[in-house]
Structure 1
Amino acid sequence: MSRETTIVITLVVYKIILVAIGILTSRKTNDTDDFYLGGRTLGPVVSAISASASSSSAWTLLGVSGAAYAWGISAIWLFPACVGGFILNWYVVAPRLQTLSHETNSLTLTEVIARDTPPKYSIAVVASIIIAFSLLFYISSQFQAAGKTFSATFDISYDKSVVIGGAIIIFYTLMGGFWAVSITDTLQGLLMAAAAIILPIAALVEVGGFSTLVQQLPQVDIDGYMSLTRNMLPSAAVGFVLGLLGIGLGYPGQPHVVNRFMALKDQKALIHARRIAILWAVCVYSGMILLGLCGRVLFDTIPDKEKIFFVATNNLFSPVIAGVMTACILSAIMSTADSQLLVAASSLTHDLRLHREKTSVKQSLTQARVVVFLLSIAAIFLAIFGTKEIFDRVLFAWTAMGAAFGPILIVRLLCGPITPRATLIAMLLGFTLSVVGYSIPATKGTYIDRILPFVLATVIAYRGTKK
């Protein structure tokens, strides 16, 4: 059996499973509480793995391994940044948000932030616009990952690949809502963990072991490849390191991640979930960094650094095994956008009705599904006609939402309610400074882009706490 045939068969089987999940979970989706939070009955395994997968996926598999391949040792800073973000989320945010959302019956992050504030402050409107704008870029990056994978595996154009991946995601997200998203993301997360263990180990064995890797890396003919700061001047080096570490600050502000905390059934489930999630993060991020470094030794010239994952897979395994792994990871990448689609839909339907008369359950579900469909189409167009750099696009959306919502959420959970005025100012300032910092080449990816907006928004939010 050829590699292409194996991939096709595996893909078909996996897609049948996804479609079946969508159909079966549609029976458990009877109202908006089910559609957005699965009735608040998530157990530890599903919540931990699905939250981890929805916060990582294409960016981790392709972006982090590609960064390690291109940058060298300095990519190691991504490990404490991302694992630290997991720790911040699961030990500081999760227990408090789970309790607060249950007490207030909040379904979304925006509802937690904007609840009981006067309509004149338009917090829900501003939050919804920020979420929809940021997640549009985030979702399109997942479609890009699918397109790159299909085009690298089959004789199919990138544009067609994006459309195929998007169509599958649209179907099962529309059918099953939160339950479909959580279960498929759990499958995705397990596949990612398996790949992050198997593939780097195979690459390390091919190199000749860790000692050989250490001997070979200094021979890579790239300036600063063995430097933790890429041989930058001191001021630039500080900005580079802080910029990478600042990625961890974005975790609390991701609506598609923290909604899993709100869906947990109880504190006992949370305790088990955070252990699973931290272990997952350690395995996946260390594995992808190791893969990128081994890949540079094994495959010196790759035009697109974000394809090192697939180049290594195709060269290190037999056609059948490589086909199965490629197909599974392709499916995992494609299923990541579902969480972002669901959160964006909740922002543009549920959140914008915080101060309005509630519509019927049937109307709410219909509106949510229409928004999911329209956002998917917009993301497909952006993936086809926009830039093709997954790493940068994800970090842009990640940092923007992290600076807009993370400070407000943390201060709200630790210090109590924040005045509506301070909430709105902190949200707008964090988001705006993050976008401006990203848009300026000299500050893009530095602490000015990823840390300063977060810190300033936190100060404003804290000063606005109701004493």
Structure 2
Amino acid sequence: MSSTSIVLVTLIAYKVLLLGIGFWASRRVASADDFFLAGKARGQGLGPWVAGLSYAASTSSAWVLLGFTGAVYSQGVVALWLIPGIFGGYLMSWLVMGPRLNAETAARGHLTIIDFITADIGAKWKRIIGPICAFMVLFCFVFYISSQFQAAGNALTEVFGMSSVEAIIIGALVIVVYCLFGGFLAASVTDALQALVMMAACVLVPIAAVQASGGLGAVVETLHQNEPKAYFSFAGGAAGMAGLGLVMGLFGTGLGALGQPQLLNRIMSVRSQAERRQGAAITILWGVVIYSGLICLAFAGRASGIETGTEGLFFAAAKAFLPAVLAGIVTAAVLSAVMSTVDSLLLAAASAVSHDMGATYREPKGALFFGRLAMVGIAVLAVLMTLYLPKDIFSRVLFSWVALGAAFGPVVLTKCLGLRSGGAAMCAAILVGFFTAVISANVQGPVAEIIEKWGSWGLGLIILYIGHARTKRAEI
């Protein structure tokens, strides 16, 4: 059997499994709460393994396997500044914000993170902030989803030689079908499966690449002989403000996790506080394995002189260093994992449109129907954007990640820490954080990089602190 045939058979088997999970989960979907939060309001929700692994997979799909690996491969040591930021985001989300998020969702029946944000403000500001936040989610996630479609399309084109249009449409169809069946539960279970697939691949391929390069010692020695000093600089060879901007920009990427609905929904949906802590440990251990493997792969690939684009290293290494059968299985499995990440994004975006925009429904079935309809519409929009607005995966994901993190992160964090601000301050912080990040993302230079990642957060926190102080004075 040829390598291409092996990839095809594995890919079909994986997709049949995903559709089976969707059908199984569909039996537990009878309302919008079931569809968007796995029945948390009815005392169900997610266990620690599904929550922890699905959270991890939702943070780390195309941009990690392809984008992060490519960044380390091409830029060198400076790209490692992403690591402390990413793990800082894990810890803050699960252990600092997690207790309040999980407890309040159980007590008050929140369905989305926007419900949490607007829970304690007046009806006037709730009607204003809800649609604003929903539009931001929709805007950012269309970019995010399109990057996942692009990653899947690139890989399918490389493996099967099909056109990018065919590859992207096929991938989108499979995802939408199983997600329509089982909603958040199906998405979470398939993402947990995806996390295990990614872990296996991120152990197997790096070990093969390092061994083929003569071991870790030989990899380091080869790199020192062949690469410029800037490749080993933690500032990327840049000095002064340029170096600071590069480092702070990479490190600040982790802040985005604190405002991502598809991640915070996992924490909200965990069944208990004890299981939330277990989920946190699972996420962190998964991250240690994944990032250790990918760093080794990036350096081994650079040392071995693999000829590939920066975002094609993973697939090129599997093909170069593994037997044909194993390489085919790994390629298909990782490709499927990349594609299936879209499910959580689609659900979060659909809940923003059908729930957070303020629509009301006569019966639960109506909310469920419009939630599914919104998901299909968003998928179509993301496919069209992928086909007609191509851009590299890493920058497209980071743009949407940072903008949404800056909008929601400060508000959710301060509320979880017990600081109460009025509706006006919350609305101002969300708008200022979002637009500061968006504008800065389109400006070149180290100062803009710092403002995008850190200034957007700083301005939001200042506004919320002022709002908190005014609220306290009004109560005295």
CA-based RMSD of the aligned residues comes to 1.4
Query: What letter corresponds to residue 312 of structure 1 in structure 2?
Result: A
Task: State yes or no: 1:287 paired with 2:304.
Answer: no
Equivalent residues of 1:240, 1:445 under 8 A apart = no
Q: 2:433 aligns with which of 422, 430, 433?
A: 430
Report what 1:388 is aligned to.
391
Deviations 1:376-415 (A, max 9, x none): 0111111111123000000000000000000000001102
Report what 1:172 is aligned to.
178
Q: CA deviation at 1:427?
A: 0.1
Report what 1:10 is aligned to.
10
Q: 1:365 aligns with which of 368, 385, 405?
A: 368
Equivalent residues of 1:24, 1:176 under 8 A apart = yes
Identity among equivalent positions (%) equals: 38
Aligned residues: 464
Alignment of 1:301-316 (within 5 A): 301-302=307-308, 304-316=309-321
Query: What letter corresponds to residue 117 of structure 1 in structure 2?
Result: I
Deviations 1:119-148 (A, max 9, x none): 433000100010000000000000011011
Task: State yes or no: 1:21 paired with 2:21.
Answer: yes
Q: CA deviation at 1:82?
A: 1.1
Report what 1:346 is aligned to.
351
Report what 1:409 is aligned to.
412
Q: 2:159 aligns with which of 137, 153, 157?
A: 153
Instruction: Work out the CA distance in 1 between the residues paired with 2:47 and 2:263.
Output: 15
Equivalent residues of 1:33, 1:39 under 8 A apart = yes
Report what 2:138 is aligned to.
132
Report what 1:458 is aligned to.
461
Equivalent residues of 1:443, 1:449 under 8 A apart = no
Distance change >3 Å, CA 207–CA 444, structure 1 → 2: farther
Report what 1:117 is aligned to.
121
Residue segments in structure 1 that go unaligned for 5+ positions in a row: none
Equivalent residues of 2:319, 2:327 under 8 A apart = yes
Task: State yes or no: 1:89 paired with 2:121.
Answer: no
Distance change >3 Å, CA 151–CA 299, structure 1 → 2: farther
| TM-score (structure 1 length as normaliser) | 0.97
Report what 1:273 is aligned to.
279
Instruction: Work out the CA distance in 1 between the residues paired with 2:219 and 2:429.
Output: 46
Instruction: Work out the CA distance in 1 between the residues paired with 2:263 and 2:219.
Output: 35
Instruction: Work out the CA distance in 2 between the residues paired with 1:327 and 1:300.
Output: 20
Q: CA deviation at 1:288?
A: 1.5
Instruction: Work out the CA distance in 2 between the residues paired with 1:286 and 1:257.
Output: 22
Instruction: Work out the CA distance in 1 between the residues paired with 2:92 and 2:203.
Output: 24
Q: CA deviation at 1:220?
A: 3.4
Instruction: Work out the CA distance in 1 between the residues paired with 2:361 and 2:179.
Output: 23
Report what 1:317 is aligned to.
322
Instruction: Work out the CA distance in 2 between the residues paired with 1:87 and 1:28.
Output: 31
Distance change >3 Å, CA 245–CA 299, structure 1 → 2: same
Report what 1:106 is aligned to.
110
Q: Which moved more, 1:427-436 or 1:20-29?
A: 20-29
Instruction: Work out the CA distance in 2 between the residues paired with 1:280 and 1:438.
Output: 30
Q: Which moved more, 1:110-119 or 1:339-348?
A: 110-119
Instruction: Work out the CA distance in 1 between the residues paired with 2:412 and 2:284.
Output: 21
Q: CA deviation at 1:285?
A: 1.8
Report what 2:333 is aligned to.
328
Instruction: Work out the CA distance in 2 between the residues paired with 1:443 and 1:236.
Output: 5
Equivalent residues of 2:202, 2:293 under 8 A apart = yes
Query: What letter corresponds to residue 305 of structure 1 in structure 2?
Result: T
SS in 2 for 1:224: helix
Q: Which moved more, 1:98-107 or 1:40-49?
A: 98-107
Q: CA deviation at 1:446?
A: 2.0
Deviations 1:243-294 (A, max 9, x none): 1110111111000000001100001111211111100111112222221111
Instruction: Work out the CA distance in 2 between the residues paired with 1:25 and 1:301.
Output: 43
Which ranges of 4 or more aligned residues in structure 1 deviate by more than 4 Å? none
Residue segments in structure 2 that go unaligned for 5+ positions in a row: none
Report what 2:249 is aligned to.
243
Q: CA deviation at 1:359?
A: 3.2
SS in 2 for 1:421: helix
Instruction: Work out the CA distance in 1 between the residues paired with 2:226 and 2:168.
Output: 34
Equivalent residues of 2:306, 2:316 under 8 A apart = no
Instruction: Work out the CA distance in 2 between the residues paired with 1:39 and 1:263.
Output: 8
Instruction: Work out the CA distance in 2 between the residues paired with 1:359 and 1:81.
Output: 44
SS in 2 for 1:148: helix
